[in-house]
Amino acid sequence: MSILLRSAHIIHSESAFNGLTRDVLIENGLIRQIADRIDAPDHAQVVELPNLHLSAGWVDMRVSTGDPGFEQKEDLTSACRAAVAGGFTDIAVLPNTRPVVDSKDTLGYVRRMAEGQPVAVHPIAAITKGAKGEDFTDMIDLHHAGAVAFSDGEHPLQNADLLLKTLQYLRPLGGLLMNRPEETGLTRFGQMHEGVQSTLLGLKGMPAMAEELMVARDLRLLAYVLGEAGTTEADTLPVLHFSCLSTAKSVELIRQAKEQGLPVSCDVAAHQLVFDDTALAGFDTFLKVNPPFRSRADVEALWAGLADGTIDAIVSDHSPQDDESKQVEFDHAEFGMTGLETVFGALMSHNPGLPLGQLIAALTTGPRRVLRLPTATIAEGEPATLTLFDPSGTWTFDRSVSKSKNSPFLGQTLTGRVLGTVRGGKLWR
């Protein structure tokens, strides 16, 4: 089985072919040949599309699937289908299922369900049992069983001592702790970003400070852990990762931490780069997410964080919710929106001028490094894990392949079109 990609514009900063237009021949899952012109072998699947761009396969570090336990919202198969539609070859899935992925048993279920899917599924294991923030899971066990990282996912770690001990405990394993920063004592009953807009809408606000305090706290705890043990070679990789940054001050704190050499990383959800809190004026529950949409200045700071490399990865923060969770009063609605299918469209439609290569890096090399996945290279003889896209192509998001339809982009025409993925020797689209 061979696939021939005709006149593909290659976007991959670590490849010798970066910025060049070439034919690419894939055979038996490997990149066989990259050349100006390749004659199609017999029975080759030839992909010849206008403005075809090619990069290493995209990685989404933050996906909720609902499998097991909330299969009516999304199961692993439908999540993988949505991931392919969004151009992803790899996804890391949160442990907030029912039961929570906090044992070898539940981790094994996710790994079994992931077999044969068009996307590589990397399970994130919970730090605490039931992600309740109380008792530790068997983390060494889970690490050896294939957990790509540790996080309580939707639940920020409130207890500083738990975070401290997790960092200490994971360190000899070279494990990664991921935390979504939110001091929940400051956000109880909160519905949206605290600001003028929340005041106008009479909705309880969630102050930016709730996120920033926890970023500052966690950085301080990390410095404490490293200071006591000394840095090692392993620390060149991030050991603490902040999920879903949303405020300017958070970006600044991490920028400073990186300048000081702390092994930290962070991501931003694509939708945070699009919306600000004024979007909530109509009480649209599809726009109710956590962290909430902040001010325009915060959105601009997030783009700046991407531009200067402070932010390592862009995630979908895909959070499928059924109608029963969203077609209700605003303060009764669940948080979250689906995102797998619209990451690229959202980014390209709202990009204030970031070079394409930098955006793609936040979907490829950035998350791969954070998750310690093998580097993907576009070179002859390398495995073909690729994403095909057209950065200027427009498309209308009129039908979602996710089981849930809670996307504010549904019905919208977006710029930035995914054309397919190549993984495991197959073309997916």
Partner 1 sequence: MQSLSTRHLLGIKDLTESDIQLILATAKEFKDVINRPIKKVPSLRDITIANVFFENSTRTRLSFELAEKRLSADVVNFSASGSSVKKGETLLDTVNNILAMKVDMIVMRHSSPGAPHYLAKHIPANVVNAGDGTHEHPTQALLDSFSIQQKLGDVAGKRVAIIGDITHSRVALSNIFCLQKQGAEVMVCGPATLIPKHISALGVRVSHDVREALNWCDVANVLRIQLERQQIKYFPSLREYSLYYGISKQMLDELDRSIVLMHPGPINRGVELTSDAADSHHSIILDQVENGVAVRMAVLYLLAQL
- Contact residues: partner 1, CB under 8 A: 188-189, 191, 194-196, 198-205, 207, 282-283, 327-332
Nearer CB in complex with partner 1: 73/423:
73
Q: Is 398 a catalytic residue?
A: no
In whole angstroms, the minimum distance from the beta carbon of 303 to partner 1 comes to 24
Shortest distance, CB of residue 407 to partner 1, whole angstroms? 17
Q: Which is nearer to partner 1, 287 or 373 (CB)?
A: 287
Output the smallest distance, CB 248 to partner 1, in A: 17
* Cβ nearer to partner 1, comparing 227 with 411: 411
Catalytic position from the list 67, 75, 277, 317: 317
Question: What's the closest the beta carbon of residue 276 comes to partner 1, in angstroms?
Answer: 14
Closest to partner 1 by CB, 197 vs 351, is: 197
Smallest separation (angstroms) from partner 1 to the CB of 205: 8
3-state secondary structure the chain: CEEEEEEEEECCCCCCCCCCEEEEEEECCEEEEEECCCCCCCCCEEECCCCCEEEECEEEEEECCCCCCCCCCCCHHHHHHHHHHCCEEEEEECCCCCCCCCCHHHHHHHHHHHCCCCCEEEEEECCEHHHCCCCECCHHHHHHCCCCEECCCCCCCCCHHHHHHHHHHHHHHCCCEEECCCCHHHCCCCCEECCHHHHHHCCCEECHHHHHHHHHHHHHHHHHHHHHHCCCHHHHCCCEEECCCCCHHHHHHHHHHHHCCCCEEEEEEHHHHCCCHHHHHHCCHHHCCCCCCCCHHHHHHHHHHHHCCCCCEEECCECCCCHHHHCCCHHHCCCCECCCCCHHHHHHHHCCCCCHHHHHHCCCHHHHHHHCCCCCCCCCCCECCEEEEEEEEEEECCCCCCCCCCCCCCCCEEEEEEEEEEECCEEEC
Token pair in block for residue 130: 């039931």
C-beta of 264 vs 280, nearer to partner 1: 280
CB of 411 to partner 1, least distance (A): 15
Nearer to partner 1, 229 or 328 (CB): 328
Among all residues, which ones are annotated catalytic? 317
